[in-house]
Structure formats: C-alpha cells, structure tokens
Structure 1
Amino acid sequence: MSTSAPAEALLALQRFGMGPRPGSIGAIASDPRGALLAELDNPPPFSEAAAALPSSAKAVRAVADADARRQAKAIVATREEAKQPAADASMMAEDAAPKTSEMGQKMAAEAIPDPRRTIYLAEAKLRTEAALQATIGFTERLVWFWSNHFCVSAFKVRSMSGAYEREAIRPHMLGSFSDLLLAAENHPAMLFYLDNLGSMGASSVAGINRNKGPNENQSREALELHTLGVRAGYTQDDVISFANALTGWTWVPPYSSPDHGGEFAFNARMHQPGGQTVLGKRYEQEDIEQGRAVLRDLAVHPATATHIATKLARHFIADAPPPALVESIARAFRDSGGDLKETAKAMIAAPESWTLPPTKLKRPGEWVVAMVRSTGITTVDPERYTGGVALLGEPLWSPSSPKGFPDDEASWIDGIGRRLDISNAFAEREAEKVDPNEIIDNVLASQVSGEVKQAVGQAETRQQALSLLFMSTEFLRR
C-alpha cells in the first residue's frame, strides 16, 4: 500500500469516513489520523433542521390521530354512500366498529393522508445530507454503525425509526456504552419492535388477570446481539430471568393519550414480583431499576467488550479482522469502562487499521453516499435515495431481522449488478455537470489504478466514464 500523504488521507476517508468529496483529501492530508481524532473530540452538530422534526412519541401520536380521523371519515362516507342513518348502538356488538365500504375508505385516505411516509422521508433526508456534507464523516459512520447494531425496522415502526436514531443513538454514540444500551433498550421503538410492550410477569397483577407471561424477544436479543454475543455462556434460564426483569417496560398507548401517547412508561402492575438471577448474579430490585441494573452489568461484561470490538473491526477494517486488532479495541473498551470515544480512538491507533489493504466491499448505503459525495452534491431527494438503497437490498432502517444488516462481502456481492444500474442512472443525470477526470485528479487525488484511468479515458461518453469510475474498486471497496 502507498504511504503517501494523499493515499493515507484517502484511506482515512474511505475506511472511516463517508468517502472523499471535493477538497476533503487536501483538508486532512497533513495529518489524517489526527483529523479523525479531532472529529471524535469535536463532532460536527447534526442539522438544525432536526429541531422541526417530531419526537418519536409525537410522531406515533400523529399516526394514531390520522388513523382515528381516517376511520371516522370512512364511516361517515360509508353511511352517506348508503344513505343510511347512523347505526343504532343497541344493534351493534359491544366492541364492534361500524363497517366501512371500499369507497368510504378511499375517500378517507385521500382526505387524510397517512403521515408515516412523510415523517420517514424527512428523517431520511436530514440523515443522508449529514453524510453528504461532512468533511470526513467518521462520526456519521459511527451513528450508522450503532444504529444498525441496535436496529429497529421501519417496516414495523416507520414513523419512529428516524427519531429513534436521533434520540437513542446520536446523543450517546461517543459516550458510555452503558448509557447507549439503556437508551436503546428502553426506547419505545425498540420495545415495540421486539414485542416488549405487552410483556408481563406471570405472577404480576396484570399477568394473573390476563393469564399471560413474559415475552422473551428483547431479553434474548439484548444478550445475543446487543451485548454478550452468541455462545457467550448465558442460558435459557438467564433469558427468562432477564425477560422477567424487563416486564412492565412499555409505553403510554398512543390512542389513549393525546399528550403523552408513545412515551416510555413503566407499568408496575405488569412487572414480575421478586428477585431475578442473571448470569449468576441476583437482582432484588422490585421496579424499573431491576432491568436497568441487569443492563448496566451486561454493558461492562468482558464478553460484551469482545463482541463490540469484533463488530467494530469487521465493519470498519476487514471481514475477518486480525485477533490482535480485536483485542486492542476490546482492551480499550474494558479499560475505559465502555467509553465509546476511547474505544474508537483505539481503533484509529491500531496499526492494522492502516496497513490492511482496502478490500472491504462497501454496503449499498455507503457506496451510494460515496458516489454522490464525489460529485460535490450536498442535498438529496429522499424518495430517490431510499428507493435506490432499497433496490440494492439495504432499505433504510429496515433490516430483515434484529441482527441488522450484515457486514461481510458474501452478503452483498450478488448485488453488484444492480449497483451498475444505479451508477448508470446517476451518471446519466450528472454527466453534463460532472467531469470524471476531475473526480480522479481532484477528489481522489489521482490515487486510482492505471487500469481505471485507462478505462475512463477510453470511454465513449462521459456518462459511460462516470459509471465505470463509480463501479471501480476505488469506489466499491474501502
């Protein structure tokens, strides 16, 4: 690997940032590692426009309100369509809702749009533009990493998915892992996604009255995916005990409260009474503090340090990261008590982070952002962006399972053909404004192979040249 200043700056931008954009290599070439560390100490603020976005609770209340008004509109439209008076309540089942016609539903949908997608696209726009506008983008990459580690799915919680990232991930991604873990696990989006809202202890007041018990989804994923990792020594009994500790972690139902619906709530009537034993430790707390205590201990468990270090090294450096690299990151995590800034600094300081070749295949979202950044574009059409990454198999905030999107080449290599379609479409739109040789010379500082320069130079059209460049190793890998 080249050790020139531009080459190391390019590696820093590709491996740890969002890819080079006009002027970015020159801005950090004198000290790429120092520039990364400086961004950790002084991360760029998120867009001021985020203040206008609804909180997760407000978003879910807006959805509930729109759904209720749409249903009422459909009922009224159906009655008018049939020219029938309002149904006599005595003629309806006690808990039945009036039926609505297809025409009534259509009229209601046109009159009262569903706000879910509007909220989702507004969140997507700000998130993507933060990545496009960053000089380096290291902290944005960390947001993306932790959001995927503690993933929810917009397929299930669309209106809350962006706000969840803003509320639970962004404020804590350079702080204490314990704080990040607690923020993610008790966020209503996570509780909804992992079916904990209705989880109640079998011996709780609510459990006895409803003849129900705990849901194990969140406790299992918190152990297996969020903290310790698979085969880390926990048992099914630990999963059950932890699930009992999390009973009563719920929300204020959005349809029942126009002021506080969608907010986190602890319902003592749903909480399993008595102590719980998790990983050999007894937790005697009788309230919300029981689950919090378990999470705080999981956050500093040695297995958690190794699990987190492995995922960080795999995401940023290599599909099969060297054990020495993983151990250096894990050691920083352990020694600092889970300080995520210190953990990220250890990754930057590790020699393997700079000597291993850039062979990692970028995930679709990273590749699209890198392609757009190279042209100097700083704004985005969220419809087009979210549609593009969905076509490439990485729909925004929508992994197919709680594992999140994978970070290995085997999971993404089959989608290279679809990337060619995307690069062709983008190149066609930008060909008149963007010169591929300008990208090579000024954005990539000529740090491309001779083969790429030759292919671009011999292309029949500027569109073809741009597409070839975007599909080159220099753009696909980092």
Structure 2
Amino acid sequence: MRKEPVVADRDLDAAIAVTRFGLGARPGEIAAARGDPRGYLTRQIRRAGADQPRTNGETSAQRIAGFRVYQQDKGAMKRAAGDDTPVSDARDPVKIAQRMLRDDVATDFTARARLGAETEAGFRERWTLFWANHFTVSANKLLTATVVGPFENEAIRPHVFGRFADLLSTATTHPAMLLYLDQAQSVGPDSPAAQFVSRPRRGVGGRPGGAQRKLGLNENLAREILELHTVGVDGGYTQADVTEFARAMTGLSVGGLREDPEMIGRPVFRAVAHEPGTRTVMGVRYAPGGKEQTGAILADLADRPQTIRFVCTKIARHFVADSPPPALVARLERAWTDSGGGLDAVAHALIAAPEAWSPQPAKFKTPYEFVISSWRAADGAPRDIARLAPVLNAMGQKAFSAPSPKGWPEETAAWATPAAVVQRLSWAQAFSAAAVRDRDPKALAVAALGARLSPATATAIARAESRAEGFALLLMSPEFQRR
C-alpha cells in the first residue's frame, strides 16, 4: 500500500506544481494545489485544447487578406509617385502598416500575456507555449507579424493535447507557416507552372522578349520540418531527403487576391505548381498524389522513433532541466508510443514522472516567463503593450520575434548573462514600486513560492527598507528566477 506523503513533501510538491509546471503562483494558488498537487495538474489536461486569448477575433485569413490589399495600395501609390494628389491617412501605406502593428500584433501579444498572468490553468498554458515555440512563426516581417497570434490560436491551441500527427500537419501547412518559410512561392522545377513561365517571350517580329519571372523550388519548410519539428538534425535525413520533401510540398500555397474571395488568405493547393512524380524521403517511396503526398510524408515523420526521441527530449528539457534525465525522456517516449502520439498521454506521463519533481530547481526563467510570473505574484495582469514591449526588448525576447525558426532558446546560458540580470533588476525595482502598494511583501513571497521560499530570502525580504524593495528582492531571488 502506498503511503501518504508527509505534509512537508506535499507543501513542496504544491509549490513545484505551480511554479515549475505552471507559469508562477498567484496568491492562493499553491494552497489550492496542496491537497493533490499531481491531480491539480492532470485536471488541466483536456482534449479540447488550450484556452484562447481574448483578442479582436480576426482570423489569419482576414489578416492576410487585409495585408494583400495594403500591398496592392502600396504598389499603386508607388506607381503614382509623380502625382501631386495628397494622400489621406486612411490610404497612407506607412500609417496603415503602423496601425497593423499597433492594432493587430500589440493586441494579440497583450491578450496572450494577459491570459498567462490571469489563468488558473498555468500548466495548460505553459504546455501550449512550448508547442508554439516548437512550431515557431516569427514576426520578422510585417505580414507574418500580423498572423503570429492567429496562427497560435488556430493551429496550436486546439491541438496541444491531441495527436502529434494532427498538430504537426495543422501547424506546418497553416498559411502563417507557409508564408514565414516562403513555401507559398515554391514551384516544382518540372511543374506545368515552371514550364509555362520558362518559355521564352517573343517580342516584335518573333525576336526574344523581356526577362521572365523566375520560379523555383524553396526548401526552407522541408528542412525545418525535418530538422526542428520532427526527427531532428541528427535524425538520419540527408540533403536529398530535404530536396525530395520540398518537391512533394510544391503546390501548397496561400490564396491571394486573384482567387475566389472566400479563399483569400486560406491554404490552397495549386496542382499547376506541384512537382509531378514519385518521391523518396528517408527511404520511403511515396506515390504521386498532389497534396496527399505531403500528408503521407508528414504522417510517417510523426511516427518515426527519431521524432519521438527528439520531441520528448525537448519537452523534458523545457520542463525539468537543460540536460534532462534519460529516465524521464524514456517515460515520455513510452507514453507517446503506447498512445499512438497522444500528447495528452505524454502530458500525463510528465506529471507522473518522479524525475520531474526534483526539489532542486534547474530551469532559469526566460524573460517572458519572468515577467508573467512577476505579474502573477503581484496578483495583476498587463493591460497594454507599453507595459510589456520595452522590458522584453531590453531583456532580449522581443514579442513574437524569435530569432530563427528554431524558436527561443531553452538553456540557462542564453538568459542568465550579467547584462540580462541587470535588466531584470532594473525592471523588478520599477515594477515593484507600482505593484505592491500597501501589501506585505513577506506574505506575497509565501504566496508566490510556498515551501520553496528559502530562509535567506525570507529574512532579506523582512529586513527590506520598504515594501517595494522587499517585493523586488523576492523577484530577484534565486528561487524566483528559477523554477
């Protein structure tokens, strides 16, 4: 018969459940988890997926359609550059772009951060953020900036506790991903579209005409699916596999202004741009079949042992340690295999694994995690981008702007630099002055860390000269910075 844990263990487990598996504790949250810390987490797993931020409700298709109209207007203005007709603010491309960034991107990111600060299901939100980073779409250009939020809401959140194969397919063929990695312009070298465009134009009297628009194969998405989303860089694929996979995906694109209005901004398959023929990827031969060829390759990649090992290692690294225990990775792999890629089963296995409950915190918070957990500790939430963007920019984690398709780094070395810690201290002092008001920082520290609060930190907070200084000491303490 299993013995009931002693009270001290339950207190510590409750603190770990909320601060390691979740996004940090709001007042009262650790107490709510104390009765059954593991049950507290497992109840947050649901096949319906993650919670949705309260945005303006625009879809990626609507955003893309709006951007295409903006591009059209911008082109028209360039052509009329010599005209002295004044341009109204409503039609000024520069002002339109500024409005897109302010009204779309800022609203999306603030809504996501507010959800993180207020949610009662911190584990569910952290699990979602892991997958959003795994399938990164970055705001490295205006178009993708406007669709990062809808991408997460449409392609990631509904599928985070479903089958990995479904999440993989939905995320990698979503219009935002196709545009981010330039797949929408990829054309098979032997496709009808390429053959048509490559025909020499004829000018007057049959002489060769002007230059042709160059169409070609783009391998970005194929490479990133293999390297980052499935088998991993050491997964055994070759450059030939990348090229073959890229050929299979030709034709996957995004509806434009010349399409049926209902298809603008939505995924489309253009058979005329698809590379005909069979494809062989990682030793498996795939029959011709248009977009079905891509679907078959993605389904096989989702089930490969290399994919299971690579993704489970990433999950363990995110939640537990930069160098995760091999036993933990093995448990996650087994749950994945036994469930046929059920991410809910993997989440259950993570929560049940003893290796995930080590008393010693090994993960250093990213700037976003630090800021969100600080808001939670203060029992508040950001209401506008002005409270978020400057600090995240200063700390090196600009909103929706991961530096590459690899996403934001997980390792401590990326975030615990002396300069970054100074930025955290500066923000913690300013934030604390406004956040604490007349509340007791000692009580806030107990609520934020529970049994993880060390005697040294508790003493330092008690001896602080002001409430704001005491709360800032909490935010900068080793146990708050780590999870």
| TM-score normalised by L of structure 1 | 0.89
Cα root mean square deviation, aligned: 2.6
Deviation at 1:390, TM superposition (A): 2.3
The match for 2:137 among 133, 152, 177 is 152
TM alignment of 1:299-314, pairs within 5 A: 299-314=302-317
Match of 2:34 in 1: 29
Alignment match, 1:217: 220
Residue in 1 aligned with 2:236? Answer: 233
Partner of 1:384: 387
Alignment partner, residue 53 of structure 1: 57
Amino acid at match of 1:79: D
1:183 corresponds to? 170
Query: How many angstroms does 1:76 deviate by?
Result: 7.2
Q: Residue 47 of structure 2 contacts residue 161 of structure 2 at CA under 8 Å; is this kept in 1?
A: no
In structure 1, the gaps of 5 or more residues are 83-99
Paired residue secondary structure (2:349): helix
CA-to-aligned-CA distance 1:407-446 (integer Å, 9 cap, x gap): 1101111121211111112112224244311212334336
**Residue of structure 2 in register with 1:120 after alignment:** 105
User: Does structure 2 retain, via aligned residues, the 8 Å contact 1:9–1:25?
Assistant: yes
Once the two structures are aligned, what percentage of the paired residues are identical?
A: 38
Say how many residue pairs are matched: 458
Q: Which sections of structure 2, spanning at least 5 residues, go unmatched?
A: 1-5, 199-214
Q: 1:284 is matched by which residue type in structure 2? A: A
Amino acid across the alignment from 1:468: L
| Match of residue 371 from structure 1 | 374
SS at match of 2:285: strand
The alpha-carbon distance between structure 1 residues 392 and 248, as it changes in their structure 2 partners (threshold 3 A), is same
Residue 343 of structure 2: aligned partner: 340
Q: Using the alignment, how far apart are the partners of 1:112 and 1:303 within structure 2?
A: 42
In the alignment, is the contact (CA less than 8 A) between 1:268 and 1:287 conserved in 2? yes
**Match for 2:461 among 456, 460, 473?**
456
The alpha-carbon deviation at position 378 of structure 1 amounts to 3.5
2:24, 2:448 within 8 Å by CA — same for their partners in 1?
no
3-state SS of 1:277 partner: strand
Instruction: Give the equivalent residue in structure 2 for 1:9.
Output: 14
Q: Which aligned pairs between 1:211-290 and structure 2 lie closer than 5 A?
A: 211=198, 212-254=215-257, 259-290=262-293
> Contact 2:445–2:471 (CA<8 Å) still a contact in 1?
no
Deviation of 1:54 (Å): 0.6
Distance in 1, matches of 2:326 and 2:439, equals: 43
Q: What is the alpha-carbon distance in structure 2 between the residues aligned to residue 43 and residue 24 of structure 1?
A: 23
TM-score normalized with structure 2 length: 0.89
Q: Distance in 1 between matches of 2:96 and 2:312?
A: 51
In 2, Cα distance between equivalents of 1:255 and 1:117: 28
Distance 1:224 1:75, change over 3 A: closer
Contact 2:382 2:388 in 1 (8 A): no
- Is 1:62 the counterpart of 2:66? The answer is yes
Secondary structure of the residue that 1:319 maps to in structure 2?
A: coil
Q: Choose from 303, 312, 319 the match for 2:322.
A: 319
Matched position secondary structure for 1:285: coil
Return closer, same or farther for 1:461/1:57 CA change in 2, 3 Å cut-off. Answer: same
Local SS of the residue matching 1:19: coil
| Cα distance, 1:169 vs structure 2 | 0.2
Q: 2:45 and 2:459 mapped to 1: Cα distance?
A: 38
CA positional deviation for 1:292 = 0.7
